[in-house]
């Protein structure tokens, strides 16, 4: 017998890493009120003036044209140099120069100093620079160029920020001043959240641990208005079907993009922003060009040939700081595995992969028999992938979706374990799509590609035990909507941050599409009662159901088993229930979803946080299609506890010739069974459960094709 290793899963967690960056001596300036935080406007020319703006806009300019305000961290007020007001239509060709000067700054003891600030800048013929001086000495330029690449009639994005190492100039000094200088013609420079750090300042995320982990793992990232990290300078783009390649390339050229990858038969493209800039002439317009990625998104969306464009956002499941080990080669014995019958239901697992040789899983891995076993470097099945025997690896871009993390293997094992315990006759196969790397990190391009590919490969259910916060992605939303058209059900984990998702939505959990079941996690309290797990996210509009999610035993790497906790573990339990519903005869995703929810127990204390208080209940007779269980002579019983006998009493309300009474565990295993003959109407039966452990059980009574169920809680 193989050794069993108990591993308590680290939930989606913040790594305990000390972040060395701190703001120096409270030198942080958000310009929230008209005091300007002690900064002063100094006119280098008589008409040069910085001013405070309450709304972060230069909207008293003739060329503002209803632009959005600067999207800084603090929002609210900001400092503005409004050159368009100075040399507007009434004063053409008038140049100006003005400085925004700091109060005295103290950097004694700080040999490392970083300056960070948010800006929104549009250029016509100006120079912007930063200068420093000590004790009233002459001002000197900080050598790092500022906005040097913002050409004429081009602007930054509204959420642009700059980080500059000024250690050489101001390190370990006091009585220092910094100033921002605008010199030239048109248009505006808006500044906010000027801060000085003793280490490299990083952008934050919500929740904070996501950015902390990405930094620790060494992933580069930027954030946008929702504070969610994305891969810098990368966009995921979806063209309308049938768009000619010449038109696609013309759009890429317009926005300065280079296509670096594509997937799902070229349905999606991954772009990297090049150095080309968008320029729209001399007219300042709200849809004007920008070096900022946000403006490139706007420019792309305005093209009728594009269905969607979005940041290449990071997402995650169980993030952990592991040492990378390469995926092992394809195991030969798997290649010859039986692919199951054509009626087998396919479950796509978008995760860290699956350990293909795991004893408990290898026989359930999907085998694509349309691809020859020896491989031929051809797309034999016409799905735009070469030799894709078992799904696909979107991390390493190859055909080996072996797990190098353990999360995906554990998720797959939960499905296998529940299918074996509850409905071993149901034929199913698991398709591994490796979307998440050995740290548990993925990006939008990978998960959207896999969502489309799962549909192409015939999956009935897609298990998404991962997510991201912030704004919804139109790219992923399109993939899920397409899955609905193709009758594919998405099962999504709700997330593990004890968060009310009505205040901070997570996706894909909170997409409104009706082909999604979102799953929270429950725990069992000291009295055997079901309670919401203390880490589970919640919201009755987002979270449809809860399933077991604490210390769940399942497969892990190296052909062993272990324990993990999280909504990631609850989701595959519901995926298994969905497949059972398909096997029972339901044919549409909506019937399957409704049936799983209808068969759930309704636990009133969970109602405020989980839709209808739904708790997953594996009841095979409940998930049988309605047409097969309609019975005008439905069974009717009442159950009463009997503390004296350490058991319970069942009252029958109609005569039954033969009944099968069973007690099931939460996983559906039958742990007690009794045949009752000639059960008379109004006859009471007593049952002793003194030998059962404390916990939750299910009672079922079957007569012919009719079944009645009831939940039992033994304290």
Q: What is the pLDDT of residues 422-439, one digit of tens each?
A: 888 889 999 999 999 999
pLDDT higher than 80, residue 460: yes
Does this model's pTM top 0.75? no
Environment class of residue 174 by beta-carbon count within 10 Å: exposed (0-12), middle (13-18) or buried (19+)? middle
Lowest-confidence pick of 213-227, 455-469, 614-628, 669-683: 614-628
Dihedral Cα 21, 27, 30, 35, nearest 10 deg: 170
Determine, yes or no, domain membership for 2: no
Contact between 227 and 311 (Cβ < 8 Å): no
pLDDT tens-digit series, residues 606-624: 999 999 999 998 765 565 5
Determine, yes or no, domain membership for 92: yes
Burial 404-439 (b: 16+ CB within 10 A, else e): bbbbbbbbbbbbbbbbebbbeebebbbbbbbbbbbb
Average pLDDT over residues 328-353: 70
Helix 567-583 / helix 589-598 crossing angle, nearest 10 deg: 110
Provide the number of structural domains found in the chain.
Answer: 4
Q: Within this chain, do residues 128 and 248 fall inside the same structural domain, yes or no?
A: no
Give the integer Cα–Cα distance in Å for 619 and 53: 63
Q: Within this chain, do residues 308 and 183 fall inside the same structural domain, yes or no?
A: no
- Structure token pair of residue 172: 């370990």
Q: Within this chain, do residues 505 and 406 fall inside the same structural domain, yes or no?
A: yes
Parent domain of 430: 344-615
CATH code: domain of residue 684: 2.60.40.3080
Nearest by Cα to 552 from 582, 581, 574, 537: 574
Average pLDDT over residues 522-542: 93
- Structure token pair of residue 356: 């293909």
Q: Within this chain, do residues 160 and 58 fall inside the same structural domain, yes or no?
A: yes
pLDDT higher than 50, residue 629: no
Please provide the size of the chain in residues: 715
Q: Which domain-ending residue is among 166, 201, 236?
A: 201
Q: Which domain-ending residue is among 316, 334, 363?
A: 316
Contact between 338 and 427 (Cβ < 8 Å): no
What pLDDT does 303 receive? 66
SS3 at position 442: strand
Q: Within this chain, do residues 215 and 197 fall inside the same structural domain, yes or no?
A: no
Determine, yes or no, domain membership for 264: yes
Determine, yes or no, domain membership for 4: no
Q: Within this chain, do residues 366 and 272 fall inside the same structural domain, yes or no?
A: no
- Structure token pair of residue 605: 């204390």
CATH code: domain of residue 356: 3.40.50.200
Average pLDDT over residues 388-394: 91
Contact between 187 and 67 (Cβ < 8 Å): no
Q: How far apart are the first and last CA of the chain?
A: 34
What pLDDT does 55 receive? 93
pLDDT tens-digit series, residues 266-303: 999 999 986 444 434 333 333 333 445 555 566 566 56
Give the integer Cα–Cα distance in Å for 28 and 24: 8
Q: Which domain-ending residue is among 615, 642, 657?
A: 615
Q: Within this chain, do residues 179 and 257 fall inside the same structural domain, yes or no?
A: no
Q: Within this chain, do residues 232 and 312 fall inside the same structural domain, yes or no?
A: yes
Contacts of 258 (CB under 8 A, 6+ apart): 252, 271, 272, 273, 274
Average model confidence (pLDDT) for the chain?
Answer: 84
Determine, yes or no, domain membership for 647: yes
Determine, yes or no, domain membership for 304: yes
Q: Within this chain, do residues 237 and 259 fall inside the same structural domain, yes or no?
A: yes
Residue written as token pair 């200068």: 131
Lowest-confidence pick of 470-479, 562-571, 620-629: 620-629
Q: Within this chain, do residues 276 and 355 fall inside the same structural domain, yes or no?
A: no
Confidence class of residue 197 from pLDDT cuts 50, 70 and 90?
A: very high
Dihedral Cα 463, 466, 468, 472, nearest 10 deg: 0
Q: Within this chain, do residues 101 and 189 fall inside the same structural domain, yes or no?
A: yes
Give the integer Cα–Cα distance in Å for 627 and 230: 48
- The upper half-sphere exposure of residue 492, i.e. CA atoms within 13 Å in the direction of its Cβ, equals 31
- Structure token pair of residue 374: 């020896």
pLDDT higher than 90, residue 686: no
CATH code: domain of residue 176: 2.60.120.200
Q: Within this chain, do residues 137 and 252 fall inside the same structural domain, yes or no?
A: no
SS3 at position 31: coil
Average pLDDT over residues 669-684: 87
What pLDDT does 150 receive? 81
Give the integer Cα–Cα distance in Å for 430 and 378: 23
What pLDDT does 666 receive? 64
Dihedral Cα 677, 680, 683, 686, nearest 10 deg: 0
Average pLDDT over residues 489-500: 96
Lowest-confidence pick of 183-192, 478-487, 558-567, 611-620: 611-620
Contacts of 28 (CB under 8 A, 6+ apart): 193, 194, 195, 196
CATH code: domain of residue 241: 3.30.70.80
- For residue 437, what are the CA distances in angstroms to 14, 49, 318, 325, 448? 18, 51, 10, 11, 15
Lowest-confidence pick of 189-203, 488-502, 657-671: 657-671
Burial 474-490 (b: 16+ CB within 10 A, else e): bbbbbbbeebbebebbb
Determine, yes or no, domain membership for 354: yes
pLDDT tens-digit series, residues 18-31: 344 789 999 999 99
Q: Who has greater pLDDT, 167 or 627? A: 167
pLDDT tens-digit series, residues 85-116: 776 555 666 788 999 999 999 999 999 999 99
Determine, yes or no, domain membership for 12: no
């Amino acid at each position: 017998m193989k050794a069993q290793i108990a591993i308590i899963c680290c939930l989606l967690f913040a790594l305990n890493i000390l972040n060395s960056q701190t703001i120096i001596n409270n030198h942080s300036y958000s310009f929230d009120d008209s005091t300007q935080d002690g900064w002063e406007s100094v006119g280098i020319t008589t008409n040069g003036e910085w001013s405070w703006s309450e709304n972060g806009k230069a909207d008293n300019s003739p060329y503002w044209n209803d632009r959005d305000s600067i999207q800084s961290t603090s929002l609210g007020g900001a400092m503005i140099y409004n050159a368009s007001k100075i040399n507007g239509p009434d004063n053409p060709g008038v140049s100006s120069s003005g400085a925004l000067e700091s109060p005295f700054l103290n950097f004694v003891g700080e040999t490392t100093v970083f300056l960070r600030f948010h800006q929104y800048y549009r250029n016509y013929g100006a120079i912007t620079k930063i200068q420093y001086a000590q004790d009233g000495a002459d001002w000197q330029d900080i050598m790092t160029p500022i906005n040097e690449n913002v050409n004429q009639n081009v602007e930054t994005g509204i959420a642009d920020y700059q980080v500059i190492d000024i250690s050489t100039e101001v390190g370990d000094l006091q009585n220092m001043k910094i100033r921002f200088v605008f010199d030239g013609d048109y248009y505006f420079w808006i500044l906010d959240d000027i801060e000085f750090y003793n280490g490299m300042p990083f952008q934050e995320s919500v929740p904070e641990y996501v950015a902390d982990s990405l930094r620790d793992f060494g992933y580069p990232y930027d954030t946008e208005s929702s504070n969610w990290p994305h891969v810098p300078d990368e966009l995921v783009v979806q063209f309308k079907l049938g768009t000619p390649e010449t038109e696609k390339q013309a759009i890429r050229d317009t926005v300065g993009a280079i296509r670096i990858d594509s997937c799902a038969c070229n349905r999606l493209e991954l772009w990297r922003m090049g150095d080309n800039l968008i320029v729209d002439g001399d007219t300042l317009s709200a849809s004007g060009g920008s070096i900022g990625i946000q403006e490139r998104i706007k420019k792309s969306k305005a093209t009728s040939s594009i269905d969607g464009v979005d940041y290449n956002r990071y997402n995650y499941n169980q993030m952990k700081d592991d040492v990378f080990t390469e995926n092992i080669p394809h195991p030969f014995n798997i290649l010859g595995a039986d692919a199951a019958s054509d009626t087998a239901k396919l479950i796509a697992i978008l995760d860290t992969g699956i350990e293909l040789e795991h004893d408990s899983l290898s026989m359930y891995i999907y085998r694509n028999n349309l691809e020859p076993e020896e491989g031929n470097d051809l797309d034999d099945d016409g799905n735009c992938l070469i030799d894709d025997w078992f799904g696909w690896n979107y991390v390493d871009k190859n055909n080996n979706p072996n797990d190098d993390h353990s999360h995906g293997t554990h998720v797959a094992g939960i499905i296998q374990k529940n299918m074996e315990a509850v409905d071993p006759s149901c034929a199913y196969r698991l398709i591994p799509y490796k979307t998440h790397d050995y740290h548990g990190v993925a990006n939008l391009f990978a998960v959207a590609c896999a969502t489309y590919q799962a549909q192409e490969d015939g999956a009935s259910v897609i298990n998404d035990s991962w997510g991201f916060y912030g704004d919804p992605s139109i790219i992923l939303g399109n993939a899920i909507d397409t899955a609905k058209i193709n009758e594919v059900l998405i099962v999504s984990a709700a997330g593990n941050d004890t968060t009310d998702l009505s205040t901070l939505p997570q996706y894909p959990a909170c997409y409104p599409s009706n082909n999604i079941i979102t799953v929270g996690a429950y725990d069992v309290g000291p009295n055997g009662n079901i309670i919401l797990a203390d880490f589970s996210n919640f919201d009755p509009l987002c979270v449809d159901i809860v399933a077991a999610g604490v210390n769940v035993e399942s497969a892990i790497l190296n052909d062993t088993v272990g324990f993990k906790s999280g909504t990631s573990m609850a989701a595959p339990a519901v995926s298994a229930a969905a497949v059972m519903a398909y096997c029972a005869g339901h044919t549409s995703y909506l019937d399957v979803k409704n049936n799983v929810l209808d068969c759930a127990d309704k636990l009133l204390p969970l109602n405020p946080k989980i839709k209808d208080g739904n708790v997953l209940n594996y009841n095979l007779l409940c998930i049988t299609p309605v047409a097969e269980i309609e019975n005008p002579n439905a069974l009717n019983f009442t159950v009463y506890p009997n503390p004296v006998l350490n058991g319970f009493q069942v009252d029958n309300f109609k005569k039954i010739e033969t009944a099968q009474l069973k007690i099931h565990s939460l996983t559906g295993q039958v742990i007690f069974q009794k045949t009752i003959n000639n059960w008379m109407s109004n006859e009471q039966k007593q049952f002793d459960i003194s030998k059962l452990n404390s916990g939750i059980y299910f009672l079922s009574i079957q007569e012919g094709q009719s079944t009645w169920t009831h939940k039992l809680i033994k304290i």
